[in-house]
């Protein structure tokens, strides 16, 4: 089946190669595994309620008992983690409750650990998930302040119980955000010493070795082989290997986007297929982003069975991120499944995905009887103008060729005066002066200059 080159679903005019869409999800390219919700028993107490009502005796007894059960082997690593995780609530208002709990029980491991975790979580919350270049100095300073509180608290907690496993996990988190690779390795080794069969410290340490956080694929592969020699659960090995292939897939996607020839399509597909296959071994579901990228890569290579496989895995999910929806729509349109693609395309457009906005707008502008879409130039232009405002090249060219107002403004909020000036120029005379293709290439280069966040929440 030949690839469909689409700027309007019915018209099949000319292809857009998603020039303005990032090759990987914008929010820091998080780990492509959908986290499973904690399995909390119906009878489990509401720990936050005890915390805020100053019922520290009940709170401390519950978590101290849980820690004792873990140390005796009656509770698993996951049950321990899930129990303490009930206190997650990232708000400055809770600090006084943790302080009061520690004051009431100064020798309590649970109290000191929980206060340290609270400070770490607040550091991560304040830091946010935006690019470092878009993060204010006040946010960075507040993050460091919270981490400076979390680190000694967690260190103190290490002395208060026989197996302070969770302390090592969160000390690894702290060093990952604001520490060194040597510190990361130290807390990994401490976690393994305390709990040789653990999964969370191993997985968290593998995350610190990813290229995006300063590591390398050789580091990740070496750690995978090191872990393999320890004879762990095959599911853990699969989860660790998923991190390698998901990052490689994202790198191949970026290389594919940066290339005018799309020479990496097979490599993109191969890596995402490994992620999906390994997810079955791990007993976990791939994330929406991973499956959407897998579908898109399969569609590019006309691998219809793989498109169907990805679609089936996504069938019962409520997908609410535009990046994934846009790629699902692309894959289905390539297969001539336009009616099935339309809801994803519409939702992606509503979620501010510029390619989807342009294709939807062009389809409405020209009309599509096969999809019961009447021609409505005014309504179509609304979407095309929104797409152009986000600098989608085809949308900007459409408005320019029709002598219509509107244009690219996505860099106007940049902290760089030079980029703000370029954004203004782009929306005015830029296309007419040096030509649309050159502008598109220049825009891609500028967008690639954005820096990724320094840690993963």
Residue 251 lies in a domain: yes
Locate tokens 């469909």: which residue? 4
Question: What CA–CA distance (Å, rounded) separates 359 from 349?
Answer: 9
pLDDT tens for the chain, 457 residues: list them: 345 555 666 643 333 333 334 455 544 344 333 333 333 343 345 899 999 999 999 999 999 999 999 999 999 999 999 999 999 999 999 999 999 999 999 999 999 999 999 999 999 999 887 777 788 889 999 999 999 999 999 999 999 999 999 999 999 999 999 999 999 999 999 999 999 999 999 999 999 999 988 899 999 999 999 999 998 899 999 999 999 999 999 998 888 776 555 557 899 999 999 999 999 999 999 999 999 999 999 999 999 999 999 999 999 899 999 999 999 999 999 999 999 999 999 999 999 999 999 999 999 999 999 999 999 999 999 999 999 999 999 999 999 999 888 778 744 334 444 444 444 333 343 444 444 444 444 444 444 443 333 333 3
| pLDDT given for residue 212 in this prediction | 85
Tell me how many domains the chain contains.
Answer: 1
- Choose among 112, 8, 27: nearest CA to 361: 8
| pLDDT given for residue 349 in this prediction | 97
User: How would you label 344-362 residue by residue, b for 16+ Cβ within 10 Å and e otherwise?
Assistant: bbbbbbebebbbbbbbbbb
**Contact between residue 133 and residue 415 where contact means Cβ atoms under 8 Å apart:** yes
Q: Widest CA span of the chain, in angstroms?
A: 75
Residue 18 lies in a domain: no
Question: What CA–CA distance (Å, rounded) separates 14 from 10?
Answer: 11
CATH for 70:
1.25.40
SS3 string, the chain, reads CCCCCCCCCCCCCCCCCCCCCCCCCCCCCCCCECCCCCCCCCCCCCHHHHHHCCCHHHHHHHHHHHHHHHHHCCCCHHHHHHHHHCCCCCCHHHHHHHHHHHHHCCCCHHHHHHHHHHHHHHHHHHHCCCCHHHCCHHHHHHHHHHHHHHHHHHHHHCCCCCCCHHHHHHHHHHHHHHCCHHHHHHHHHHHHHHCCCCCHHHHHHHHHCCHHHCCCHHHHHHHHHHHHCCCCCHHHHHHHHHHHHHHHHHHHHHHHHHCCCCCCHHHHHHHHHHHHHHHHHHCCCECHHHHHHHHHHHHHCCCHHHHHHHHHHHCCCCCCCHHHHHHHHHHHHHCCCHHHHHHHHHHHHHCCCHHHHHHHHHHHHHCEHHHCECCCHHHHHHHHHHHHHCCCHHHHHHHHHCCCCCCCCCCCCCCCHHHHHHHHHHHHHHHHHHCHHHHHHHHHHHHHCCCCCCCCC
Domain with 221, as residue range(s), is: 47-334
Residue 308 lies in a domain: yes
| pLDDT given for residue 198 in this prediction | 95
Residue 378 lies in a domain: no
Query: What is the pTM for the complete model shown?
Result: 0.76
Distances, alpha carbon 155 to alpha carbons 315, 396, 413, in Å: 46, 56, 42
Hey, what are 271's tokens? 């890596």
Question: What CA–CA distance (Å, rounded) separates 128 from 170?
Answer: 18
Question: What CA–CA distance (Å, rounded) separates 262 from 138?
Answer: 41
Residue 148 lies in a domain: yes
Query: Which residues on neighbouring strands pair with residue 368, listed in sequence order?
Result: 373
| pLDDT given for residue 129 in this prediction | 78
Residue 116 lies in a domain: yes
**Residues in Cβ contact with 208 at an 8 Å cutoff, skipping those fewer than 6 apart:** 172, 176, 181, 184, 215
Residue 134 lies in a domain: yes
Residue 286 backbone dihedrals phi, psi, to 5 degrees: -60, 155
Residue 165 lies in a domain: yes
| pLDDT given for residue 6 in this prediction | 56
């Amino acid at each position: 089946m030949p690839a469909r080159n689409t700027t309007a679903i019915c018209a099949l005019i000319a292809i857009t190669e998603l020039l303005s869409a990032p090759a990987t999800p914008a929010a820091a390219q998080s780990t492509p595994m959908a986290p499973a919700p904690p399995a909390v028993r119906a009878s489990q107490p509401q720990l936050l309620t005890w915390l805020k009502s100053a019922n520290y005796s009940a709170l401390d007894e519950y978590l101290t008992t849980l820690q004792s059960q873990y140390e005796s082997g009656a509770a698993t690593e996951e049950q321990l983690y899930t129990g303490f995780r009930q206190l997650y609530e990232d708000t400055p208002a809770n600090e006084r409750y943790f302080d009061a709990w520690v004051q009431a029980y100064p020798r309590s491991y649970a109290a000191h650990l929980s206060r340290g975790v609270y400070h770490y979580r607040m550091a991560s919350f304040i830091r946010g998930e935006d690019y470092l270049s878009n993060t204010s100095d006040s946010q960075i300073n507040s993050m460091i302040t919270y981490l400076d509180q979390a680190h000694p608290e967690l260190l103190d907690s290490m002395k208060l119980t026989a197996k302070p496993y969770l302390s090592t996990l969160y000390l690894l988190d702290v060093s990952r955000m604001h520490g060194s690779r040597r510190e990361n390795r130290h807390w990994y080794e401490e976690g393994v010493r305390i709990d040789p069969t653990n999964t969370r410290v191993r997985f968290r340490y593998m995350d610190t070795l990813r290229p995006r956080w300063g590591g390398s694929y050789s580091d990740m592969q070496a750690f995978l082989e090191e872990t393999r020699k320890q004879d762990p659960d095959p599911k853990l090995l699969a989860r660790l290997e998923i991190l390698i292939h998901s990052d490689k897939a994202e790198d191949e996607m970026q290389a594919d986007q940066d290339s005018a020839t799309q020479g990496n399509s097979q490599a993109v597909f191969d890596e995402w297929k490994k992620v999906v296959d390994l997810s079955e071994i791990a007993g976990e579901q791939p994330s929406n982003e991973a499956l959407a990228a897998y579908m898109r890569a399969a569609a590019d290579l006309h691998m219809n069975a793989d498109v169907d496989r990805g679609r089936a895995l996504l069938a019962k999910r409520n997908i609410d991120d535009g990046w994934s929806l846009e790629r699902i729509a692309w894959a289905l349109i390539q297969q001539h499944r336009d009616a099935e693609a339309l809801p994803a395309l519409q939702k992606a457009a509503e979620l501010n995905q510029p390619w989807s906005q342009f294709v939807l707008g062009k389809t409405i502008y020209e009309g599509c009887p096969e999809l019961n879409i009447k021609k409505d130039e005014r309504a179509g232009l609304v979407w095309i103008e929104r797409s152009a405002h986000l600098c989608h090249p085809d949308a900007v060219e459409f408005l320019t060729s029709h002598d219509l107002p509107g244009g690219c403004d996505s860099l106007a909020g940049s902290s760089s005066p030079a980029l703000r000036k370029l954004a203004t120029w782009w929306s005015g005379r830029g296309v007419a002066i040096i030509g649309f293709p050159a502008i598109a290439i220049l825009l891609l280069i500028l967008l690639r200059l954005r820096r990724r966040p320094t840690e993963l929440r």
